[in-house]
Structures are given as C-alpha cells and as structure tokens.
Amino acid sequence: MRKHPVTAVLALVLAPIAFTGAALDGAAASGPDSNPPNAASPVVLELFTSQGCSSCPPAETLLSRLGSDEQTRTKVVPLAFHVDYWNEGGWTDPFSARDWTLRQEAYRLALGVQSYTPQLVVNGHTDVNGSNGPRVLAEIAADLERQPGATISLTATRGEGSKPTVTVDVTAAVTEAFKARRLKAQVALFESGLVTAVGRGENGGRTLQNDFIVRRFETAFTLEPKAGARRQQVITLKLEPAWKLDNVGVAAFLQDPGSMKIHAAAVQSLR
C-alpha cells in the first residue's frame, strides 16, 4: 500500500505548533456532486474526553491540531464528546452530557472494547488512545486509502434573529451495497475555541482550551444500504446565543447503527 500524504506531516502535527482556535475553513466536503464514487472521504475522529481527566488535555490538543493544521484539516472530521462520568471527581465539565456517555457505551458494545478517556474512535470501527499521535495518524492514513462506497454532502446556512438557528441540507448516496441495517445520516453541531479555568478535580488550577465540542447531535434520515440508494433532507438545529457562532461548524456522516462503521463524511464551518 502506498503511503498517504498525511503521514508526511506526522512530525509537524506532533511538534509544538501555534494553533489559533481550530476552524475547519476549506475542509473538503464529500458528496454525490463534489466527491466522485470511491474518492477518499474525510475521516471521522470521535474523541471521548473530559475536563476532569488529567490524561485528556494532550489528546484534545492533538485533535485540535489535526482539525486546524493546513495539511490535515481537509482530511479529518474531529468531534469531541465530553462524557459525564468524570463529573463525580470534583469538577463538573460544562460540556459533558449523558448522551455522549451513552454513545461511547454503544461503541463499547459494537467494538467489544473497554470505555476509557481519552478514547478516540476512528470512522466508527477502531478505537485508539487519543494521546497516541503516531497511531492516530496511521489509522487516518489507512482509512484515507479505503474506498468509501458511499457519499454524503451538506450545506449549512445560519439564520439570524433573537433565536438563531442553522439549516442543514444533507444529501447521501450509496455507491455499493453494504451488509448492514439501514444507514443513519448523522448530523453533529460543534463549537471550537472555548477556554475554561478548571477549579477542581485532576485538572484543578489549569486553564483548558477545547475545540470541536459537540453541542447537538441528530439523525437526519435513514438510508437503505443498497447501491443506488439516495436521499436528501433538510433539518434545523437550534443555536444558543451564548455560543461563539463564528467558531461553530456542522458535520454529517453516514453510519451503520449495528457495526457503528462510518462510510462517508462531510463538514462545513458556519463562518
């Protein structure tokens, strides 16, 4: 197998680099029109993390660099799910949610692995310690070599007014049949550039910056796993006025709810 260009930037990603708050400007969208069949789809990186976990900040830094560095940001869709089970350690993570813990539990059951933090799941099929930079880069490179067998695209438009929303137009298509249940077109709304002074717990006294924090997560539609299947749907997601809306982005991906494998992904910034 030939080496993918992403491996060439391993040293850059792992070395100390300036990072500016991680927006996905210019991230490559995959879709029926913009991404021809069997072209590489960006790789979904789901990091299960917590501000209460002292081993999580290095993994979060790596996720931020992968999502913001010019040479890697078009190749990945980084998402940080802050779990709630660390909240009993003295610090309540303001971004944590029970739903994100349940999503990690779904991966535990599907992949037959233990849940831990910082756990990074690559395209729904492989879990890696999120602090293990070389392994994370190797998994990304391997997935970029795989033929996706499906495409997905999105167009996100931010509404204005006292109750801001984002309208997301999602289109997905299957280019080769899968042995799967109906595939789910998942949509995640995320925010970057958030800074928290942690008062207690394992990270007490530290100031943490978190990026790609998942704020909303919904299923847009389901799709038959048969070649030629195609569907389009528009959904509306609520935005909170307190969010830094210029740092908000939307991701969409096509996932088998049984195996949890992700077959195609796309991402867009709201800037």
CATH number, residue 56: 2.60.40.10
Per-residue pLDDT tens over the stretch 203-243:
999 999 999 999 999 999 999 999 999 999 999 999 998 89
At 163 the pLDDT is 82
pLDDT at 66 over 60: yes
Question: Smallest Cα–Cα separation from 173: which of 143, 149, 144?
Answer: 149
At 180 the pLDDT is 85
CA pair distance 45, 53, nearest whole angstrom: 19
Is residue 187 a contact partner of residue 209, using CB atoms and an 8 Å limit? no
Q: Is residue 4 part of a domain?
A: no
- Tokens of residue 224, six digits: 């038959």
> How large a percentage of the chain has pLDDT more than 70?
85
At 39 the pLDDT is 59
Q: Average pLDDT, stretch 52-77?
A: 97
For residue 145, the enclosing domain spans 27-269
At 181 the pLDDT is 83
CA pair distance 27, 171, nearest whole angstrom: 17
Q: Is residue 46 part of a domain?
A: yes
Average pLDDT, the chain: 87
Question: Smallest Cα–Cα separation from 199: which of 82, 94, 57, 62?
Answer: 94
Task: Collect all residues with Cβ–Cβ distance below 8 Å to 11 and sequence separation of at least 6.
Answer: none
pLDDT at 178 over 70: yes
Q: Is residue 22 part of a domain?
A: no
pLDDT at 26 over 90: no
CA pair distance 64, 148, nearest whole angstrom: 25
CA pair distance 81, 100, nearest whole angstrom: 6
Q: Is residue 151 part of a domain?
A: yes
CA pair distance 103, 260, nearest whole angstrom: 10
Q: Is residue 234 part of a domain?
A: yes
128 SS3 class: strand
- Tokens of residue 28, six digits: 């490559």
CA pair distance 26, 9, nearest whole angstrom: 18
> How large a percentage of the chain has pLDDT more than 90?
78
Is residue 28 a contact partner of residue 197, using CB atoms and an 8 Å limit? no
Task: Name which residue leads in pLDDT, 147 or 38.
Answer: 147
Q: Is residue 5 part of a domain?
A: no
Q: Is residue 177 part of a domain?
A: yes
CA pair distance 198, 182, nearest whole angstrom: 42
Strand partners, 269: 249
CA pair distance 209, 19, nearest whole angstrom: 11
CA pair distance 120, 44, nearest whole angstrom: 10
Task: Collect all residues with Cβ–Cβ distance below 8 Å to 1 and sequence separation of at least 6.
Answer: 145
CA pair distance 172, 183, nearest whole angstrom: 10
Total domains in the fold of the chain: 1
Per-residue pLDDT tens over the stretch 87-125:
998 999 999 999 999 999 999 999 999 999 999 999 999
Q: Is residue 19 part of a domain?
A: no
Per-residue pLDDT tens over the stretch 164-173:
899 999 999 9
pLDDT at 84 over 80: yes
Question: Smallest Cα–Cα separation from 255: which of 173, 150, 184?
Answer: 184
